[in-house]
């Protein structure tokens, strides 16, 4: 009976998942369908006339965009970790007076709509003459992850046993030494979580890229796709091939770090 019931649940579960992931399948399907086969009222459900021409075009045209996104993503991760890890340690473990207020402000900062930040940064970057600068884009992108990162670090680091830190101090290590050689190594999991989400958000960013870097020499992959869509020829095979490539980091994240993903979604929302 139980055997039978769980089997029936698995079938239902597979059905729901297939339904949910249909758009993803469709993206892959279209990416392999030649452009001249796309202009049909009843599209092919499988890439029977399969082609990789979309991917070839993408690799020729979008290579620099992909590299830019990788670069921006990695730089954003570095900035975020440098700012957030010490702050998370301070809020989670050292708890200075006034720390509660900082934590509160970080929660609010996380909720500020992107459009407000985009307009504000546009004004600032114009005055400083750093529009269309990749490093300026990195700084803007880091605002997507820094508040989240501090809160995650604070949550994880508050669980580090006090004796561990005391032992290190008794050994003669200063606070910074303790942070560097005790706190950071035991917080490896939270560092991975933060780095993964930071990279993903920076990689996926569209609004900052489109307002602050649209005229730059180095455009990220999101703008590569956006310009493809804006293009009148509407090369959907290539657009979807680019979309598939742009989805690779998310896919890797899910395969390699599934438990970190679930932790990242719930942390900051439920756990304190």
Applying the rule CB under 8 A, the residues between 85 and 124 that interact with another protein are: 86-87, 89-91, 94-97, 99, 102, 104-109, 111-124
Q: Can residue 84 be called a binding residue for another protein (CB under 8 A)?
A: yes
Task: For residue 26, state whether it binds another protein (rule: CB under 8 A).
Answer: yes
Tokens of 10: 């698995």
The CA distance from 9 to 3, in Å, is 10
How many alpha carbons lie under 13 Å from residue 38 in its C-beta half-sphere?
19
Give the span between the Cα atoms of 219 and 139, in whole angstroms.
Answer: 15
Is 48 an interacting residue with respect to another protein (CB under 8 A)? no
DSSP string, 9-45: HHHHHHHHHHHHTHHHHHHHHHHTS-GGGTS-SS--S
Quick note: the x/- pattern for another protein over 159-198, rule CB under 8 A, is: -xx-xx--xxxxxx--x---x--x--xx-xx---------
**What is the nearest approach in angstroms of another protein to the Cβ of residue 52?**
19
Taking CB under 8 A as the criterion, the residue among 1, 40, 48, 232 binding another protein is 40
Query: Is 78 among the residues that bind another protein (CB under 8 A)?
Result: no
By CB under 8 A, the residues from 133 to 152 that bind another protein are 139, 142-143, 146, 150
**Considering the rule CB under 8 A, would residue 235 count as an interface residue with another protein?**
no
The rounded distance, in Å, linking the Cα atoms of 66 and 200 is 13
Compute the residue count for the chain: 272
Q: Which is nearer to another protein, 56 or 94 (CB)?
A: 94
């Amino acid at each position: 009976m139980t055997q039978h019931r769980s089997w029936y649940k698995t079938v239902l579960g597979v059905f729901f998942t297939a339904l949910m992931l249909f758009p993803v399948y469709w993206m892959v399907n279209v990416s392999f369908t030649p452009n001249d086969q796309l202009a049909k009222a009843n599209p092919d459900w499988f890439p029977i006339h399969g082609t990789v021409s979309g991917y070839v075009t993408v690799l020729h045209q979008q290579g620099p965009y992909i590299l830019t996104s990788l670069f921006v993503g990695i730089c954003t991760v570095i900035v975020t970790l440098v700012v957030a890890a010490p702050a998370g340690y301070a809020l989670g473990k050292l708890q200075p007076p006034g720390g509660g207020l900082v934590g509160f402000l970080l929660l609010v900062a996380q909720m500020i709509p992107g459009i407000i930040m985009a307009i504000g940064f546009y004004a600032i970057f114009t005055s400083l003459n750093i529009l269309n600068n990749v490093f300026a884009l990195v700084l803007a992108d880091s605002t997507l992850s820094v508040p989240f990162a501090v809160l995650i670090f604070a949550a994880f680091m508050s669980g580090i046993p006090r004796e561990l830190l005391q032992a290190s101090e008794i050994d003669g290590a200063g606070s910074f030494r303790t942070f560097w050689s005790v706190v950071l190594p035991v917080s490896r999991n939270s560092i991975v979580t933060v780095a993964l989400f930071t990279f993903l958000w920076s990689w996926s960013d569209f609004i900052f890229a489109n307002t602050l870097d649209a005229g730059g020499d180095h455009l990220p992959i999101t703008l590569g796709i956006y310009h493809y869509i804006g293009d009148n020829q509407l090369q959907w095979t290539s657009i979807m091939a680019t979309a598939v490539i742009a989805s690779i980091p998310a896919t890797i994240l899910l395969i390699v770090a599934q438990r970190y993903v679930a932790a990242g979604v719930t942390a900051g929302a439920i756990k304190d």
